[in-house]
Amino acid sequence: MASRTPLRSFSRAAQLLGDRIPWTCSSCRTASFRPLPLRRGVATATSTFKKPYYVTTPIFYVNAAPHVGHLYTMVIADILKRWQVLLGDSDAQLLTGTDEHGMKIQQAALEAGMDTQAFCDMNCRTFEALAKAANLDHDHFIRTTDPEHRQAVQYFWEMLEHRGYIYTSKHEGWYSVSDETFYPQTQVQNSLDPSTGRKRMVSIETGKEVEWSSETNYHFRLSAFQDRLLELYKRPDSFITPSTYANAVIQSVSSGLQDLSVSRPAERLTWGIPVPGDDTQTIYVWLDALVNYLTRAGYPFPPGKRRPLSGLQTFTLSERISFGRFHCVYWPAFLMALDLPLPRNVLVHGHWTMNREKMSKSTGNVVNPFFAIDRFGVDGMRFFLAYQGGLADDADYDNSFITRDYKKWLQGGIGNLASRTIGCARGKLGSYIQDATSNKMPAPTPADVDHQIMLVTTPPRVAEQMTGLNPRAALQEIMSIIEKTNKYFHAAEPWKTPDPRWTLYNVAESLRIAGILLQPFMPGKAQELLELLRVDTSNPSRRSYAAAVYGSDPDYGQDVQKGYLFLPLLTED
C-alpha cells in the first residue's frame, strides 16, 4: 500500500496540490500524492470580522404590488447576508423595507379612493409577506412612515442646514412624478404616447412623462461635492459594483453637478416628512428614503443605542435604473456633507425582462412572485433567480427557463446524484466514510485523485466570487461540483466495480460540500440535503464554510435512508 501523509489544514492541502497540478500528470500524481480526509481542515476565506456586515436592499415603493424583480433583489441581498453567517459572522445584518412617501404614493392612494396611510399599510403587508415567502433572513423591515425614521430624517436635515448645505431658491425644470425627480433640459425629449397618440415630454433615461414645474423650495449644495465624488469612484476597490456601471456615473458627474432641489411645496405634496421649522415644505422623497439606511444603524446614534455606522461594513443593492443619481451621487454626497462613513459598495443589478422587454408595474408586464413561488417552490425560484439573474446585464424570464433549470440542476443534478449514491451504497455509506477517514482504503485511481483535487480547489473559488459580490458566478462554481461529480459517477460505474468505496466516498463528499455552500442560496433544500446525508445538526461548525473542505467530517453518512429532494414539477409550460 502506498504511503500517505495526512493533510492537517487546507493551506497545506492547497500547497501540495499547487506543487503537483501544474507539473505532474494524473498517474504520477496518484503515485506521489494520496489526499487524506482533512479532519481539521479550514477553508481560506476569513471568518474574523473587525466590523459587522450590513447589507441593505433598496426600499420598495408601495404604489403597487411587488413583482419578481423585487423578489430578485431580496434574494441577492439575503444570499450576501447568509454567506457572511456561513463564514462565521453571526452579527451580519440585512435590512429591507418600503418607501412610503412622495407624490407617486399620494396619487396612487387617491386613485384607489383610500386614506394614504391605510393604502401604505395595505401594500406594505404584501412586501412583508414576500420577504417571508422568499425565506429572507432579514433583521429589520423598515418603513419610512415609522416615527423613528421620521425623527432621523428631520435630524439629518437639521445637520445639513446647520453646516450650510441647505438654502432656499426658486427652481424650474422638468419634473417626473413617476421618478420623483427633476430632469434638466438635456435629459428630456419629445415622445408620442403609443396608446393615445398624445405628444408628451419624457425622461430620456426612464421614458417616464415629465411636466414643467416652477417653484421656490430648499436646495442642497450638491455641486460642492463633485471632486470628492470623482475621487470616490476612482477608489481601487470599486465603490460601484460591477465596475462597468461606474463609467456613466463618472461621465455625468464630470460634466458638472447642479444643486439639488430637496423639498416640495406642501400645497402640492402633503404626504411626506415636513421640513423642520417650515410646514409649508415637504422633504424630498429621495433624501427621506436614502436616510433609511442610517435609521436602522441607530442614527443619530444617541449613547447606548445600537452600533454607530462607522462600525459597519455597509453594502447597498440598487437596480440599474436608480443606482446612478440616487445611490451613487446623492447618497454619498449627503453622507460626505455630514462626515459620515460611506457605504463600502453599491452593488448594481440589471433588470428582469419578458420577451426582452423590461418588466414594469406601470405597463403590467410583470410576474407575480407569490404565484411563481407557489408553482416552483421557494428554493427553486431562489436558485433560478441567482443562477440566471444579471448584474452587469439584464436577464430574461420565462416559465420554461425555470422548468429547464429545475430539471437539469436540481432534480436531475443534485436530487438524482444523491438518490443514486445512497442506493448504490446499499446502507454502507457511513462505513465507507469511516474507511476513507481511517486509512482502510486502497490507493485511489487517477480519476479519484482528479476529483479530490476539484473538491479541494472549488470552495475557495466560490468564496472569491462572493467576496467580489458576484453570487451568480459563485453559484455556477458550486453547480460545477454537481456537474463534474455526475460525470465522475457515471464514468466510474460503482455499481459494477468490486470495491466502489473511493467513488462513493468522493461523491458523498461532493454532495456534502455542495450542500454546505448552497445554504445561502437554497437554505431549505440545502438543509434537507445535509440532513439526508446525516451531517451533524447538533454541531453548527459541521455546516459552516470552514467545513466545506475535503475530508473534514468523518462522522456523517450513518444510517442514511434514500429520499427525494426535488419532486417533479406538476406543470411543464
What CA–CA distance (Å, rounded) separates 175 from 171?
11
Provide the pLDDT for residue 239: 92
**210-242: string of b/e by CB count within 10 Å (b at 16+)?**
beebebebbbbbbeebbeebeebbeeeebbbbb
Average pLDDT value for residue range 109-127: 96
Provide the pLDDT for residue 430: 95
What CA–CA distance (Å, rounded) separates 326 from 324?
6
Average pLDDT value for residue range 28-38: 40
Q: Is the pLDDT of residue 508 over 60?
A: yes
Provide the pLDDT for residue 317: 72
Provide the pLDDT for residue 410: 96
Provide the pLDDT for residue 18: 43
Residues 6 or more apart whose Cβ sits within 8 Å of residue 563: 418, 419, 422, 528, 532
Provide the pLDDT for residue 5: 29
Provide the pLDDT for residue 17: 41
12-41+409-547 has which fold? Isoleucyl-tRNA Synthetase; Domain 1 (1.10.730)
Provide the pLDDT for residue 573: 47
SS (H, E, C) 253-294: HHCCCCCEECEEECCCCCCCCEECCEEEEEECHHHHHHCHHH
Please state which of the four CATH numbers 3.40.50.620, 3.40.190.170, 3.40.50.300, 1.10.760.10 is assigned to the domain occupying 53-396.
3.40.50.620
The residue ranges of every structural domain in the chain are: 12-41+409-547, 53-396
Which pTM was predicted?
0.86
